[in-house]
């Protein structure tokens, strides 16, 4: 298998594709505050839909899961049907940087573990137009949790997300961009385990099946090793943001 094939084999049918949990999704939904009785919700970068299904169940409206990877959306549709939520879940295969949606289409825009793809600042600029009056944006963002991260942590994130900031830096950037930060929440360690434990098990299975693919699988698991060594230096923070009026 090629390195790309091994990557997708490692990530196929995982419970989630980023740190998080149903408990954290529910908490951030509560922190989002008042919403219409049947809110229109966009879950941007939804992956296989772990947050989408919670939102469909808890928010009481209709949720559109958006991702560029159609196999993830297929899994989401199957999971929604199995959970009896198919009537509340739509899917859209589209890039988060060029969403084919009209302005004011959502009461709640949601993005767990995905905004880094375009960057925090670009997400705040690009997604604001999607909100209806009174709408709210909830996203999680990778951040430094110390002002002096270790060289190992810096080296890893320099290649993947060099624009990463501290919470203070992101709060200031959001305020400068015309947002009111109504809440923030640092995801707990168990939310990382919910992502990394299944991925670790999958990598072990692939090592047994493909003994010659050690180097490629080392790359797939590199982020897990960095987290074990330097997890105190960074985390994911959830933000609840409303446009300043």
Whether the per-residue pLDDT at 230 is higher than 90: the answer is yes
Burial class (CB in 10 A: 0-12, 13-18, 19+), 27: middle
Q: What is the mean pLDDT of residues 7-12?
A: 92
**Orientation angle between helical segments 189-209 and 3-11, nearest 10 degrees:** 130
Does residue 80 lie within any of the structural domains?
Answer: yes
Does residue 192 lie within any of the structural domains?
Answer: yes
CA distance 213 to 5: 11
* Confidence grade of residue 245 (pLDDT, cut at 50, 70, 90): confident
Per-residue b/e over 126-162, b at no fewer than 16 CB within 10 Å? bbbebbeeebbbbbbbbbbeeeebeeebbebbeeebe
> Who has greater pLDDT, 224 or 2?
224
Whether the per-residue pLDDT at 1 is higher than 90: the answer is no
Joined tokens for residue 35: 């919403």
Does residue 3 lie within any of the structural domains?
Answer: no
The pLDDT tens digits of the residues spanning 166-207 come to 999 999 999 999 999 999 999 999 999 999 999 999 999 999
* Confidence grade of residue 13 (pLDDT, cut at 50, 70, 90): confident
| 40-44/234-243 β-pairing | unpaired
**Orientation angle between helical segments 222-230 and 189-209, nearest 10 degrees:** 140
Does residue 36 lie within any of the structural domains?
Answer: yes
- Structural domain range at position 97: 13-148+164-201+235-243
Does residue 60 lie within any of the structural domains?
Answer: yes
Does residue 53 lie within any of the structural domains?
Answer: yes
The H or E element spanning position 163 is none
> Does the predicted model carry a pTM greater than 0.85?
yes
Q: What is the mean pLDDT of residues 98-116?
A: 97
Q: In this predicted structure, what is the pLDDT of residue 41?
A: 98
Closest CA to 2 of 159, 164, 215: 215
Domain count, the chain: 1
Does residue 221 lie within any of the structural domains?
Answer: no
Does residue 223 lie within any of the structural domains?
Answer: no
Average pLDDT in the chain: 96
Q: What is the CATH number of the domain that holds 98?
A: 3.40.50.150
CA distance 167 to 239: 10
């Amino acid at each position: 298998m090629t390195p790309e094939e091994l990557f997708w084999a490692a990530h196929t049918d995982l419970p989630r594709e980023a740190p998080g949990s149903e408990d954290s999704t529910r908490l951030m939904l509560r922190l989002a505050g008042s919403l219409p009785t049947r809110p229109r919700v966009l879950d941007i970068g939804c992956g296989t839909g772990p947050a989408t299904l919670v939102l469909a169940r808890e928010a009481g409206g209709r949720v559109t899961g958006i991702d560029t990877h159609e196999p993830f959306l297929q899994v989401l549709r199957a999971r929604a049907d199995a959970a009896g939520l198919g009537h509340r879940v739509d899917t859209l295969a589209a890039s988060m940087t060029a969403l084919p949606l009209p302005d004011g289409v959502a009461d709640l825009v949601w993005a767990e573990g995905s905004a880094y793809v375009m960057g925090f600042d670009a997400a705040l600029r690009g997604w604001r137009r999607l909100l209806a009056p009174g709408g709210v944006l909830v996203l999680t963002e990778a951040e430094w949790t110390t002002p002096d991260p270790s060289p190992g942590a810096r080296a890893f994130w320099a290649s993947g997300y060099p624009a990463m900031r501290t919470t203070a830096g992101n709060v200031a950037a959001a305020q400068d961009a015309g947002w009111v930060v109504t809440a923030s929440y640092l995801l707990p360690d168990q939310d990382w385990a919910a992502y990394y434990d299944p991925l670790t098990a999958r990598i072990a299975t692939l090592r047994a099946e493909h003994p010659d693919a050690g180097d490629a699988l080392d790359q797939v698991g590199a982020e897990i090793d960095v987290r074990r060594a330097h997890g105190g230096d960074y985390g994911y923070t959830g933000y609840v943001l409303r446009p300043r009026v």
